């Protein structure tokens, strides 16, 4: 047993889709969420910048005595998970591997698509991870840089979301795949639009769910489960007025904690 | 005469529309441009964060012995121009005042619209500046947070740009105005779409042109003009692979300098 909190971090607020899943499968676990809204988005930035920022977030959470670190951001997981592991005395779980394991298990035609930020796509992390599990898998990737701003603006039901989905899927690459990874923690919020566009035969994979399940397995294995009452903190490096509204949208108005501004 | 460079800075690369105009009206002036691409966008962030970042940019350029500072960013100009002036030993020019002066001179029905980032709109800076010039002016503002990511993605001719314009102008507020300020240095890149949408009777004002003219007037008045050969530097805090392409689009493939990554 270990009643210290789990540290979950992301470049912004997308990682809250992972928090939501963790709360579902691990209702006794306390969580400190740290989102770098001051410097979001990371997915359009270069490797050096992303790594520098990610290590600052890691150090901040380690000072809070977290027992486990969840990198709830595909861009960070794809870019510098090893660097984070190097400086962390506690176990670290990224979102890429759990999503890749699930996709590899589900694909029948061995063709997997990945929608992600530009940084995640150019890192090649999903391709490497999928091929490690099953070397015969063909991987098709597509960067979708407008999805994050559209989602952060809350335009989930607006025609602009559908047009952006059409734009990024117009090459029809996903038609060959039977499995499509939503390789950014924001994308589950427009999952319905993506599903309608690609058709119901393609299985969509949201990294939040397999990551939460893998976290539960690891906490159990390492005897780190919490038996107390869960407490939640949502810490952000920038809190413009619209933020609460956007986060309430993530949690369907059941946001588990008040937002708090912090300084790294 | 003073042959030191002019320092021009912005949260990202939008301020290059101002640099382009400065080169046109002041071809002998050397320019150091600093864009905080590592932390762009500012327009969605809070006042405290924007001020902190802007002062870091100011100090960086002051160390480069600039003779004049141009704040080529509406968000920064709207949020913390006074704080910048307080720490700067050299003159400072923002983009809000020159655009407001021009708008006040051009409006005949005393109704001026402003399209800008959320931070610029909520600062109220354009309204204050316009009313200072002519207290009877009515000001209508609209935040357009998706314009910057769409433009930075280079989707200028894509249907998504038109849909975003329609979205932000759907309330028809601009119909009453005869003058509409493009209150973000990115927006001139979709000026044609905005003009078509609002109709040819509404005069659009791009802050880059009046700012460049005001800079010329001030340099002349303060006897700070350069008589040498102009040299240009484009310094960015983050240089992902796509950046050069986007900047070449800003300069219609006549980018005056190679991009250089710098650390604040």
Q: DSSP assignment of A85-98, as one string? A: HHH-SS-EEESHHH
The residues, ordered by sequence, that sit 6+ positions from A132 with a Cβ below 8 Å of its Cβ are none
Residue A175 pLDDT greater than 80, yes or no:
no
**CB pairs below 8 Å between A and B: how many?**
68
Asked, for residue B190, whether it belongs to a domain, the answer is yes
Q: Has A232 been labeled as part of a binding site?
A: no
B241: closest chain A residue by CA: A46
Asked, for residue B115, whether it belongs to a domain, the answer is yes
Q: Has B171 been labeled as part of a binding site?
A: no
Tokens of B160: 């998504």
Residue A105 pLDDT greater than 90, yes or no:
yes
Q: Has B11 been labeled as part of a binding site?
A: yes
- Residues B93, B68: contact at Cβ < 8 Å? yes
The total number of structural domains in chain B stands at: 2
Site from A44, A148, A163 to mutate, B interface, most B CB atoms within 10 angstroms:
A44
A165: closest chain B residue by CA: B160
Q: Mean pLDDT in chain A?
A: 94
Asked, for residue A1, whether it belongs to a domain, the answer is no
Is B163 in the same domain as B218? no
- Which of B7, B19, B4 minimizes the C-alpha distance to B60? B7
Tell me the shortest Cα–Cα distance from A45 to chain B, in angstroms.
5
Q: Do B160 and A158 touch (CB under 8 A)?
A: no
Strands B31-35 and B6-10: parallel
Residues of B in contact with A146 (CB under 8 A): 149-150, 153, 155, 160
Is A200 in the same domain as A214? no
Q: What pLDDT shows up at residue A173?
A: 73
Is A230 in the same domain as A197? no
Q: Do B46 and A240 touch (CB under 8 A)?
A: yes
Task: Tell me which of A244 and A70 has the higher pLDDT.
Answer: A70
Q: Is B80 a catalytic site residue?
A: no
What SS3 class is residue B2?
coil
Work out the pLDDT band at A66, boundaries 50, 70, 90: very high
What SS3 class is residue B167?
helix
Asked, for residue B254, whether it belongs to a domain, the answer is yes
Q: What strand order describes the sheet that includes B92-94?
A: B92-94, B68-71, B6-10, B31-35, B232-236, B259-261
Q: Mean pLDDT in chain B?
A: 94
Q: What pLDDT shows up at residue B66?
A: 98
Which of B207, B233, B248 marks a domain boundary? Answer: B207
Is B188 in the same domain as B124? yes
What is the Cα–Cα distance from B203 to B108, expressed in whole angstroms?
11
Asked, for residue B146, whether it belongs to a domain, the answer is yes
Asked, for residue B252, whether it belongs to a domain, the answer is yes
Is B175 in the same domain as B253? no
* Domain hosting residue B35, numbered range: 6-94+209-261
What is the Cα–Cα distance from A50 to B238, expressed in whole angstroms?
10
Is A202 in the same domain as A213? no
Which chain B residues have any C-beta within 8 angstroms of a chain A C-beta? 37-39, 44-46, 49, 118-119, 122, 145-146, 149-150, 152-153, 155, 158-160, 163-164, 167, 237-242
Q: Has A206 been labeled as part of a binding site?
A: no
Is A174 in the same domain as A246? no
pLDDT > 90 fraction of chain A, expressed in percent and rounded = 88
- Which of B69, B141, B140 minimizes the C-alpha distance to B110? B140
Q: Do B160 and A167 touch (CB under 8 A)?
A: yes
- Residues A178, A204: contact at Cβ < 8 Å? no
- DSSP character string of B171-237: T-GGGT-SEEEEESTTGGGGHHHHHHHH-TTSEEEETHHHHHHHHHHHHHHTT----S---EEEEES
Is A24 in the same domain as A54? yes
Q: Tell me, what CATH number does B162's domain have? A: 3.40.50.1860
What is the Cα–Cα distance from B78 to B121, expressed in whole angstroms?
9
Task: Work out the angle at residue B133's Cα, subtended by the Cα atoms of residues B130 and B135, and round it to the nearest 5 degrees.
Answer: 75
Q: What pLDDT shows up at residue A241?
A: 82
- Per-residue pLDDT reduced to its tens digit, B168-192: 998 877 678 999 999 999 999 999 9
Q: Write out residues in chain B with pLDDT < 70, as ranges.
A: 174
Which of B177, B207, B237 marks a domain boundary? Answer: B207
Is B214 in the same domain as B89? yes
Q: Has B10 been labeled as part of a binding site?
A: yes
ipTM: 0.83
Q: Do A160 and B155 touch (CB under 8 A)?
A: no
Which of B188, B207, B226 marks a domain boundary? Answer: B207
Asked, for residue B88, whether it belongs to a domain, the answer is yes
Is A194 in the same domain as A119? yes
Is B202 in the same domain as B217? no
Asked, for residue B1, whether it belongs to a domain, the answer is no
Over residues A168-194, mean pLDDT: 90
Q: What pLDDT shows up at residue B54?
A: 98
Is A225 in the same domain as A203? no
Residues of B in contact with A143 (CB under 8 A): none
Residue that is written with structure tokens 């849909």 in the block: B163
């Amino acid at each position: 047993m270990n009643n210290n909190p789990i540290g979950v971090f992301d470049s912004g607020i997308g990682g809250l889709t992972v928090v939501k899943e963790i709360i579902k499968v691990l209702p006794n676990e306390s969580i400190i969420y740290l989102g770098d809204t001051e410097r979001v988005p990371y997915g359009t930035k270069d490797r050096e910048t992303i790594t520098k920022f990610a290590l600052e977030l890691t150090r901040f959470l380690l000072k809070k005595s977290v027992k486990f670190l969840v990198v709830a951001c595909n861009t960070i997981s794809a870019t510098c998970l090893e660097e984070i592991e190097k400086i962390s005395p506690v176990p670290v779980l990224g979102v890429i591997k759990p999503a890749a394991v699930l996709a590899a298990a589900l694909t029948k035609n061995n063709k997997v698509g990945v929608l992600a930020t530009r940084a995640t796509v150019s890192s090649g992390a999903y391709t490497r991870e999928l091929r490690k599990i099953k070397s015969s898998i063909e991987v098709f990737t597509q960067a979708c840089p407008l999805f994050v701003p559209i989602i952060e603006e809350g335009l989930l039901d607006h025609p602009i979301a559908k047009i952006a989905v059409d734009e990024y899927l117009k090459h029809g690459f996903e038609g060959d795949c039977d499995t499509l990874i939503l390789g950014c923690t924001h994308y589950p919020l427009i999952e319905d639009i993506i599903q309608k566009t690609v058709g119901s035969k393609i299985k969509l994979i949201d990294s939040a769910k397999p990551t939460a399940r893998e976290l539960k397995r690891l906490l159990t294995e390492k005897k780190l489960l919490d038996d107390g009452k869960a407490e939640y903190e949502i810490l952000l490096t920038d809190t413009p007025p619209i933020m609460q509204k956007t986060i309430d949208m993530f949690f369907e108005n059941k946001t588990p904690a008040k937002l708090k501004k912090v300084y790294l």
